[in-house]
Amino acid sequence: MSAYDEFQRRSVEAPEDFWAEQAKLIDWQTPPTRILDTSRPPFVDWFPGATINLCHNAIDRHLPARGRQAALIFVSTETGVERSYSFDELHAEVQRTAAVLQALGVGKGDRVLIYMPMIPEAAFTMLACARIGAIHCVVFGGFASGSLASRIDDATPKLIVSADAGSRGGKVLAYKPLLDEAIRLARHEPDAVLLFDRQLAAMDLTDGRDHLAAPLLERHRDARVPCTWLESTEISYTIYTSGTTGKPKGVQRDTGGYAVALAASMKHIFDGRAGETYFSTSDIGWVVGHSYIVYGPLIAGMASIMYEGLPTQGLDQQPDGGIWWQLVEKYKVSVMFSAPTAIRVLKKQDPALLKKYDLSSLRALFLAGEPLDEPTARWIADGLGVPIIDNYWQTESGWPIITIANGVEKKPSKFGSPGVPMYGYKVRILHESTGEELTRPNEKGVVVVEGPTPPGFMQTIWKDDRRFVDTYWKTVPGKMVYSTFDWGIRDEDGYFYILGRTDDVINVAGHRLGTREIEECISGHAGVAEVAVVGVADSLKGQVAMAFVVPKDGAALADDGAARQLEGEVMKRVADELGALARPARVRFVSALPKTRSGKLLRRAIQAVCEQRDPGDLTTMDDPAALEQIRQLS
Ligand code: AMP
């Protein structure tokens, strides 16, 4: 048995011993005496009774040894700003922010919704929430007012923290009008809104509700705000993710389990060491941003680079496809984390850019969020000359489920496979309808996780235990297992391959979107009778959304001009309500949608036809001509 196999075996056979040991990687106020409570499956309480604070672990505990070392390095190629904050400076910034939150009435257990671009103040706010025991709910800045409104209603925040604008590729995206519209649409009204002004866009302030951050921060310049110690099982944050219904799910995470999971992953998976620099190119609006821009690297005592901008633009705002590698050289990055889609963008740049900088500090590049195709993996592996490590996980898990634990044993990677199950995870492949475990190599089934789920894994869906159990734990007949909703196979060496979603979730440039959410938005257009949205393979973004619309008025079917107009309106509606990410790449008009005789939309058949694949068994289809029409249009 290899060193890693033994490590993994121990983690699942003796989880109490294993995780008690990992718990020593972090600081506790009251150290754990009990490791886990599984008395209410599938819920798991990790380290019940112990008390902890995430912000203390990310900042305060490092102050004696590395107060002056870099903690957060902010680089914006959108605004040309580059600034490094030491642990001491981060400590001061976070305390100021925490004092402002308190002055605005925020206390333990209150929700603070963060709708911000990639600026350091977003990280300060997250850490300030953690410091005072408030629950942060970060909503990706690329979402528009409709998506934001539904999240405001679900999270019912006391305070919303935002900024005047974000910027992408030099294009300013004003946030405040989107936020105002979202608050208007939402049933819940926050007590206050705190606004950081980057001077990118004008802001209309609502008296009595909106507060500019700068004067408040100045008032609390020298604030000392002690950490509020939380029970390990108390909530650190919620983060929304898309499922198969239009209603987003608030993935809820604990505090102690999360801290332990991150500290362990920094050591065993990412092999990142205190004093080094970690560079994750993700966004704080996604789970990777939470775990591996903000909390994970800081907990490990590393400096974390927070990057605002495209991978192809320099600090002087001129095109520069080498900017990331320039940062690796400059900050001696040892661990880097990105997404396949970003690498596919870089692949179009001059390969000489990979050789222009001294990348000798870099030990590995981790890629996640979507399947890593072999040509992309080979291109970047050849260019960088360091291991490229695919890692498979989900918002729900908070840290990798399947990858290579580089810090335990540098097992070889296999192209196309993220690797093997991580310690703490009992990953199985089950037959879709019988629930029987598939143990022979290369049998395709649903990837599931057997309980108890490890520390860091979601506790539940915010305010909805029943939905958590029904959605994730009851999909396989006769077994209570967590479904990842991904298809997979395992080869003869135990390496897993992920083969796409079993549900109607699509993955655009590494971002997860529910097709139902997009369909609901499109059906709201007065000219739309019916709509089906599917994800279609795309060479750059992995997948893009494609919409097939049955118009109310046949003109869009007969007349090109009418079709173009309706297409433009549909696209704008999605961009305005959900955000540009969700905007379909194409809208096609059809007279009918393919359905089963019982009226169920055949999304998978539509998708297969769009990708020139065999649509499979169509015996239950009501109207074969409908699918034929799609074939001709796609
Ligand atoms: P999210 O919760 O947005 O991170 O999306 C999680 C989903 O992205 C998973 O259920 C997979 O469908 C997909 N995914 C994430 N990482 C990988 C990977 N390394 N390989 C294949 N699919 C992945």
The full 3-state SS of 315-367, as one line of letters, equals: CCCCECCCHHHHHHHHCCEEEEEECHHHHHHHCCCCHHHHCCCCCCCCCEEEE
Task: Judge whether 267 and 26 are in contact, CB under 8 Å.
Answer: no
Which atom of ligand 1 lies nearest, measured to the CA of 288? Answer: 4
Distances in whole angstroms, Cα of residue 348 to Cα of each of 90, 293, 327, 351, 464: 37, 26, 19, 8, 45
Nearest to 98 by CA among 189, 203, 227: 227
What is the 368 CA–ligand 1 centroid distance (Å)? 7
Range of lowest pLDDT (124-133, 211-220, 586-595): 586-595
CA of 370 to the centre of ligand 1 (A): 5
Q: Which two tokens stand for residue 154?
A: 């679900």
Q: What is the percentage of the chain residues whose pLDDT exceeds 70?
A: 100
What's the CA-to-centroid distance between 488 and ligand 1, angstroms? 12
- Residue 416 CA to ligand 1 centre (angstroms): 13
Q: Would the pLDDT of 119 be above 70? A: yes
**Shortest-distance Cα residue to atom 9 of ligand 1:** 394
Q: Is the dihedral of CA 348, 168, 270, 360 positive or negative?
A: positive
- Whether 144 shows a pLDDT value over 80: the answer reads yes
Which of these ranges, 304-313, 360-369, 616-625, has the smallest mean pLDDT? Answer: 616-625
597: number of Cβ within 10 Å: 10
In Å, what is the CA distance from 463 to each residue of 212, 383, 466? 31, 47, 9
Residue 627 Cα to ligand 1 middle (Å): 29
Which residues lie across from 189 on neighbouring strands? none
What pLDDT score does 246 carry? Answer: 67
Using CA positions, which residue lies closest to atom 23 of ligand 1?
370
CB 410 within 8 A of CB 392: no
Contact 87, 67 (CB under 8 A): yes
Determine which residue's CA is closest to atom 5 belonging to ligand 1.
394
Q: Given ligand 1 and candidates 269, 366, 374, 394, which is best to mutate, with the most ligand atoms within 8 Å of its CB?
A: 394
**pLDDT at residue 555 greater than cutoff 90:** no
Distance (angstroms) between ligand 1 centre and the Cα of 615 equals: 24
Residue 56: phi and psi, rounded to 5, are -60, -45
pTM attached to this predicted model: 0.93
Note the pLDDT tens digit of each residue in 561-608. Answer: 999 999 999 999 999 999 999 999 999 999 999 988 777 888 888 999
CA of 511 to the centre of ligand 1 (A): 9
Nearest CA to ligand 1 atom 3: 512
CA–CA distances in Å: residue 284 to residues 138, 141, 420: 7, 9, 27
- The predicted-structure confidence for 420-449, as pLDDT tens digits, reads as follows 999 999 999 999 889 999 999 999 999 999
Instruction: Report, as an integer, the average pLDDT of 335-359.
Output: 93
What is the predicted pLDDT for the residue at 27? 98
pLDDT level of residue 512 (50, 70, 90 thresholds): confident
Q: Taking the chain, what is the end-to-end CA distance rounded to the nearest angstrom?
A: 50
- In this structure, the residues whose C-beta lies within 6 A of any atom of ligand 1 are 241, 287, 368-372, 390-395, 418, 484, 486, 498, 501, 507, 512
